[in-house]
Amino acid sequence: MFINHQPFLIIISSPSGAGKSTLCRMIIQNDPLIKLSVSATTRIKRPQEIDGQHYFFISQNEFDEMKKNAEFLENAKVFDHNYGTPKKMVEEEIKKGNCVLFDIDWQGARQIKEKSDRDSVVLIFILPPSMQELERRLRARASDPEEIVQDRMKKARSEISHYDEYDFILINDDLNATYQKIRSIIEAKRVARQNRDDIKKLIEQFSTNPL
């Protein structure tokens, strides 16, 4: 565990049904130095969801006001609902020395990538083993009607077309193996950022104490 690591942003994207949310939960549960970003949304809260834990459920007017005041780090419209990441929460976690994990789509990932120092963010895209398996997983969600399944399949193809905007592309054909790969990516990023900080200090010593 790198207690003195330099915090960074971790973005994980995937089409719905590829296992992204499960993987994010596994990461958060096993690493106290990574905190999950909680998005604000205009969609209706589902029975099992908790306001402030799964999402911040707000009205369209509240969302528009926050967007007008530039309070979002990123925002996007998905399935006719607005989603956005409040800047304040992310900034607070970074100040505490925590990395922040984002469970967002390619639109949000692109916005954060454009606004961030390239070294301060790592982008990971999760693919399903096949489109057939993705459709099977979506249909296994008994709560979703047929039109929703078809909409999600259509959006999945669009989402996957942006895979090359990410640093790492992983195929989730084994949940635990995919989780371990993500852990390896995160630890490598920590080492790289810590080494960069140490090297910078060493270079400064050479500069201030010439032979």
Tell me how many domains the chain contains: 1
Mean pLDDT of 185-203: 84
In a domain, 21, yes or no: yes
pLDDT 10s digits, 144-177: 788 888 888 998 999 999 999 999 999 999 999 9
In a domain, 45, yes or no: no
Contact between 15 and 160 under an 8 Å Cβ cutoff? The reply is: yes
In a domain, 66, yes or no: no
**Residue 172, domain extent:** 9-37+98-207
In a domain, 62, yes or no: no
Contact between 140 and 126 under an 8 Å Cβ cutoff? The reply is: no
CATH code of 20's domain: 3.40.50.300
Describe the strand order of the beta sheet including 81-86 as a list of residue ranges.
56-57, 40-41, 81-86, 72-78
In a domain, 106, yes or no: yes
Within 8 A by CB and 6+ apart from 174, the residues are none
Instruction: Band the pLDDT of 192: cuts 50, 70, 90.
Output: confident
In a domain, 88, yes or no: no
In a domain, 33, yes or no: yes
Contact between 135 and 146 under an 8 Å Cβ cutoff? The reply is: no
Closest-CA residue to 178 (of 3, 8, 12, 46): 12
The pTM score is: 0.86
What sign does the CA torsion over 52, 55, 59, 63 have?
Answer: positive
Q: For the chain, how far is it from start to end, CA to CA, in angstroms? A: 36
- 64 is written with which tokens? 């528009």
| 84 compared with 140, residue with greater pLDDT | 84
Mean pLDDT of 43-66: 95
